[in-house]
Chains A and B, each alone.
Chain A
Amino acid sequence: MTGLRLAAFALVVVALALFPFGAGNYPVKLLQEILIMGIFAMSLDLLMGYTGMVSFGHSAFFGLGGYVAALALSKSPGLMSALVLPALAAGLAALVIGFFSIRVSGVYFIMLTLAFSQMFFAYTFQVSWLGAEDGLVGIPRPRVPGWDLGSLRGFHAYLLALVTLTALGLWRLVRSPFGHVLRGIHDNEARMEALGYPVDRYKLLAFVIAGVIAGVAGSLYTQFNGSITPDAFYWKTSGEALLMVIIGGTGTLGGAMLGAAAFILLQSLVSTYTERWMLILGATFILFVLFAPGGIVGALRGRIGLRA
């Protein structure tokens, strides 16, 4: 089964890599947006689907990665500024926010994470050195010798390489002993505690890892657009990631990616016909929670009898 899965995964990666050679500008940009939001959604799923920590403030790390990348890339456009610094900053923020938030669980955790993310929004929205509500614009893409990241295809290859690495890394992580402990916490936290696992330390580590990956996604988002605005921190960014995970199916990394694709395709389709995109988004959210809590993956599993 693993061999078959690996082959399927490789096939998907190859197909995605070849996509820019057969498709126009707009579809490729749409696909790139899907890949970036897919990374973000997968990082949230590590918390939500595997550890059972439902964060309503994951935008904090996405936005932080985006802003740090914007500031650093303007100074020196290299991979250090594009990937390392945003990841470090987001990880550090996740460590601090996580320290406070994992002291509580359930609904308190939801409220705290939401509140902390909005703190970043309120701050960036107001201070002039971060461009206030207009954000930071005109951000250059990183320069890598022999690799033109300014071009559509060059950036696509860079993006796909990072998505593949992230997906494989997360895949290994959730199947490692560490991942099994996370799943144990998801299923029964008290039992894991009783078994002697330092549950809080595991939860904090999961929170930091998810924060780092979300920070990288935010940085890629800045590189993709050449700009970043306070909206990256806004609760709607967290909400969209939640929706992607739920549409796709929680606790399945592929589902998070699938959910990101469904979300962005739906968005671009619906917004060409109507301005009422948020209304449709809200209704989709409600309908999925009411009638398809397992998401697309859950529905597929039910239909064809596929198991995890």
Chain B
Amino acid sequence: MPADLFAQALNGLAYGVLLFLLSVGLTLIFGMLDVVNLAHGSFYMLGAYAGLSLIAATGNFWLALLAAPLAVGLIGALIERSCLRPLYRRPPLDQVLLTFGFIYLFEDLVKWIWGGRIRSIPPPDLFAGSVSLGGAIIPSYRLFVIVFGLVMAVLLYLLIERTRLGAVIRAGVFDAEMTAGMGINIHRVFTAVFAFGAALGGLSGVIAGPIQSAFPSMGVTILIPALIVVVVGGLGSLKGSLIGSLIIGQAETFGKAWLPEAAMLIIYVVMAGIVLIRPQGLFGRPLK
């Protein structure tokens, strides 16, 4: 039983780390641009499919892990420049509605290009097997996902807290207008942050591929838990995104194992409880 428990906890951790990679992009984009990007799940889906094609073409998972997020980031930059920028002067709702439109567009585009059925994505050869850990058999790819996600969390922390670019981003999150007044080209930063957030979404799609396969509705399926993570952790907070992801990852995994018939309700119960006690989320700034 303890071995089983341990395996579940690791599964939950892998899922949580995946949610973190996804929700951190969502949180960054919101913090900077004040836009809840509902198309974020679509970036995840595009990342998985781009990864699928790149792996099929080159046979190299690592190349796909590098190139697919870049492609998705480019798409993000194009969307920000062409569609979001004209809307910044409008009520924030218009931007949310716009990203909602892109969900339809991308889901159908993916069906058109790759077809509607589930496509499995092979893990890299290096992590194709499984290892015995604490009496449990764990697919080694999951361990890789956990380590990769935690390393990314540290890198993101360093990027945002310890570099000049990070300082500009933090300043922009705090007060975009003032930052522009200090001589920073805030429009370019907006585009860069949106592209970077989109690339992170794409990256999590590639990472998720070998675990969850690729299918057209994967974007929306993951969007809901990602939104819940953001609600739980607090919108705009890196720390909230990490802690929220780990909580939701464990809640969902253990729920599935212990209470299968109520599993999908558990994360909503967690969310409702937190909204009741702290409407702004665990680490969010207080709501006005």
Interface residues on A, range: 35 or more
In the complex, chain B residues whose CB is within 8 Å of the CB of A281: 104
- The distance from the CB of B78 to the nearest CB of chain A, in whole angstroms, is 13
Q: In the complex, are the beta carbons of A282 and B235 less than 8 A apart?
A: no
Write the B50-64 contact mask toward A (1 if CB under 8 angstroms, else 0). 000000000000000
Once bound together, how far apart are the Cα atoms of A282 and B38, in whole Å?
13
Tell me the B269-288 residues at the A interface (CB within 8 Å). 271-272, 275-276, 279-280, 287
Of the 9-residue stretches A65-73, A111-119, A296-304, which lies at the interface with chain B? A111-119
Of the 9-residue stretches B105-113, B130-138, B196-204, B238-246, which lies at the interface with chain A? B105-113
Contact for A289 among B98, B103, B230, CB less than 8 A: B98
Q: In the complex, are the beta carbons of B100 and A285 less than 8 A apart?
A: yes
CB of B264 within 8 Å of the partner chain: yes
Contact for A108 among B109, B235, B272, CB less than 8 A: B235
Once bound together, how far apart are the Cα atoms of A301 and B86, in whole Å?
23
Once bound together, how far apart are the Cα atoms of A114 and B220, in whole Å?
11
> How many contacting A-B pairs (Cβ < 8 A)?
107
Nearest residue (CB) in A for B90 is A293
Q: In the complex, are the beta carbons of B105 and A282 less than 8 A apart?
A: yes
Q: In the complex, are the beta carbons of A290 and B102 less than 8 A apart?
A: no
Nearest residue (CB) in A for B111 is A278
In the complex, chain B residues whose CB is within 8 Å of the CB of A5: none
Once bound together, how far apart are the Cα atoms of A119 and B231, in whole Å?
15
CB of B6 within 8 Å of the partner chain: no
CB of A61 within 8 Å of the partner chain: no
Chain A interface SS verdict (over half):
helix
Q: In the complex, are the beta carbons of B275 and A100 less than 8 A apart?
A: yes
In the complex, chain B residues whose CB is within 8 Å of the CB of A90: none
Contact for A107 among B92, B103, B264, CB less than 8 A: B92
Write the B246-276 contact mask toward A (1 if CB under 8 angstroms, else 0). 0000000000000001001100100110011
- The distance from the CB of B275 to the nearest CB of chain A, in whole angstroms, is 5
Q: In the complex, are the beta carbons of B107 and A104 less than 8 A apart?
A: no
In the complex, chain A residues whose CB is within 8 Å of the CB of B272: 100
CB of A106 within 8 Å of the partner chain: yes
Once bound together, how far apart are the Cα atoms of A119 and B225, in whole Å?
11
CB of B147 within 8 Å of the partner chain: no
Tell me the A270-300 residues at the B interface (CB within 8 Å). 276-279, 281-286, 289-290, 293
CB-defined A-B contacts under 8 Å, sample of 9: A56-B38, A110-B96, A114-B227, A115-B228, A239-B103, A278-B108, A279-B108, A282-B105, A282-B108
Interface residues of B (CB under 8 A from A): 30, 36, 38, 83, 86-87, 90, 92-94, 96-98, 100-109, 111-112, 220, 224, 227-228, 230-231, 235, 261, 264-265, 268, 271-272, 275-276, 279-280, 287
Query: 19 extra interchain contacts, Cβ-Cβ under 8 A, other than A122-B264, A277-B108, A278-B108?
Result: A100-B275, A107-B235, A108-B279, A110-B96, A112-B275, A115-B268, A115-B271, A123-B264, A276-B112, A278-B105, A278-B107, A279-B104, A281-B104, A282-B103, A282-B105, A286-B83, A286-B98, A290-B83, A290-B86
Nearest 9 CB-CB pairs, A to B? Answer: A282-B104, A285-B101, A282-B105, A278-B108, A122-B264, A279-B108, A286-B101, A107-B36, A111-B227
